[in-house]
């Protein structure tokens, strides 16, 4: 009586709840694109770096099939080939994960859960910005395998200070560009790139550290938050009528669709457009020149800023005050990070 029962149990095991019917093994080839090379500005090689890359393959139900950690050779060839089960797949690629982000991603077994993994601006490093990409409806057959093309894009926008011109009246003489930094920079996002900005995550809110009115970034010990991505110490002198041109002063922030500029300290903090703040020393006093990126910021896009200083800016006690157009002219070019026609906006 025991033998028939055992045979019956074995015959029905594939229909037990949660049991998986083994699929036919085949191979999937993943080709990568979007890793920029042709138009990187000098000094930005790190932005193009892919230091590590993992491929996540999900089945038609959004369940994880396999994780493939690409080798250095595969990254160099921009192509990887590895065994998977047959069926319809979604392929997700994530590059330049640090240990903390990787541990959160690798704990997810559903595609929907992976896409909502949150990460901070500080999870990006200038030695390797987090990149992601995906392709759905990839068919893998037993006879011919499958192929996917995944376009990698960065999750952050790049803001560049391209030039500063000293167009003050001649008696002011030479001025010094002290430093520049991003204010009201969005500091949170998810891997899908559709997370709403969290007001508490904004970096360098109202140009202050920890959103404390008296702690203006760059004064005393008030260092910028996420300084590696949001702050540059400059120290360049510009004679009357002269221009200082930069080729590698880049800042990074997550997308920000807000377009209203900030006109002063707000308590509680009110999210506004991201701002590039340039601090200029004129006659032994620092003046603040905010440029609100009021067109909004998009991921994988560069915003190139050119400043012409024509009058005294804001004082330290209120760096975000509305600045008179007679004191500053700013042109912002919006560029795809690698190719495309620039779009200019004069503020």
Residue 338 has pLDDT above 70, yes or no: no
- The pLDDT value recorded for residue 264 is 82
Rounded-to-integer distance, Cα 79 and Cα 34, Å = 13
6: part of which helix (H) or strand (E)?
A: helix 2-11
Average pLDDT in the 254-264 region? 86
Q: What is the pTM of this model?
A: 0.85
Average pLDDT in the 234-240 region? 97
103: part of which helix (H) or strand (E)?
A: helix 99-105
Mean pLDDT of the chain: 85
Average pLDDT in the 67-92 region? 95
Average pLDDT in the 127-142 region? 93
Going by their DSSP bridges, the two strands 25-33 and 53-58 should be labelled as: unpaired
Average pLDDT in the 90-96 region? 96
Using 50, 70 and 90 to split pLDDT, how confident is the model at 59?
very high
pLDDT tens digits along 153-167 = 899 999 999 999 999
Rounded-to-integer distance, Cα 303 and Cα 290, Å = 15
pLDDT tens digits along 282-316 = 999 999 999 888 778 999 888 889 999 988 889 99
Residue 248 has pLDDT above 50, yes or no: yes
Using 50, 70 and 90 to split pLDDT, how confident is the model at 23?
low
Residue 41 has pLDDT above 60, yes or no: no
**Could you give the C-alpha distances from 171 to 168, 185, 298, in angstroms and in order?**
8, 36, 41
- Nearest-10 Cα torsion for 164, 168, 171, 173: 0
Using 50, 70 and 90 to split pLDDT, how confident is the model at 336?
low
Q: What are phi and psi of 251, to 5 degrees?
A: -130, 155
Residue 244 has pLDDT above 90, yes or no: yes
Domains identified in the chain and CATH numbers: 21-154 (2.60.40.2580), 157-346 (2.60.40)
Residue with the bigger pLDDT between 259 and 93: it is: 93
pLDDT tens digits along 176-219 = 999 999 999 999 999 999 999 999 999 999 999 999 999 999 99
Q: Which residues pair with 276 in a beta bridge?
A: 182, 291
Q: What are phi and psi of 166, to 5 degrees?
A: -90, 100
- The pLDDT value recorded for residue 24 is 82
Average pLDDT in the 30-54 region? 72
Rounded-to-integer distance, Cα 269 and Cα 332, Å = 26
Residue 241 has pLDDT above 60, yes or no: yes
């Amino acid at each position: 009586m025991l033998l028939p029962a055992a045979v019956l149990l074995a015959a029905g095991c594939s229909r037990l709840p949660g049991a998986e019917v083994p699929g036919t093994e085949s191979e999937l080839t993943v080709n990568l694109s979007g890793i920029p090379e042709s138009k990187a500005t000098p000094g930005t090689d790190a932005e193009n770096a892919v230091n590590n890359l993992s491929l996540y393959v999900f089945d038609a139900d959004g369940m994880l099939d396999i994780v493939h950690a690409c080798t250095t050779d595969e990254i160099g060839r921009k192509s990887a080939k590895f065994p998977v089960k047959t069926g319809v797949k979604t392929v997700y690629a994530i590059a330049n994960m640090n240990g903390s982000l990787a541990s959160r991603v690798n704990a997810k077994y559903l595609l929907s859960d992976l896409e909502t993994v949150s990460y901070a601006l500080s999870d990006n490093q200038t030695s390797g910005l987090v990149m992601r990409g995906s392709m759905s409806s990839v068919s893998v057959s037993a006879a011919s395998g499958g192929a996917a093309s995944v376009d990698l894009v960065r999750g952050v926008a790049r803001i560049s200070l391209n030039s500063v011109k000293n167009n003050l009246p001649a008696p002011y003489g030479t001025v010094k560009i002290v430093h520049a930094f991003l204010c009201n920079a969005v500091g949170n996002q998810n891997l899908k790139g559709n997370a709403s900005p969290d007001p508490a995550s904004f970096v360098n809110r109202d140009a202050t550290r920890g959103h404390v009115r008296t702690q203006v970034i760059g004064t005393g010990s008030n260092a910028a938050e996420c300084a590696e991505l949001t702050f540059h110490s400059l120290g360049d002198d510009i004679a009357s009528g002269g221009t200082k041109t930069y080729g590698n002063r880049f800042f990074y922030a997550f997308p920000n669709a807000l377009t209203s500029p900030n006109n002063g300290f707000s308590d509680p903090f009110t999210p506004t457009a991201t701002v590039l703040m340039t601090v200029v020393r004129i006659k032994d006093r620092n003046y603040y020149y905010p440029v609100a990126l009021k067109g909004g910021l998009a991921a994988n896009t560069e915003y190139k800023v050119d400043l012409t200083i024509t009058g005294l800016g804001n004082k330290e006690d209120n760096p975000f005050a509305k600045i008179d157009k007679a004191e500053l002219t700013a042109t912002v070019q919006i560029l795809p990070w690698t190719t495309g026609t620039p779009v200019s906006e004069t503020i």
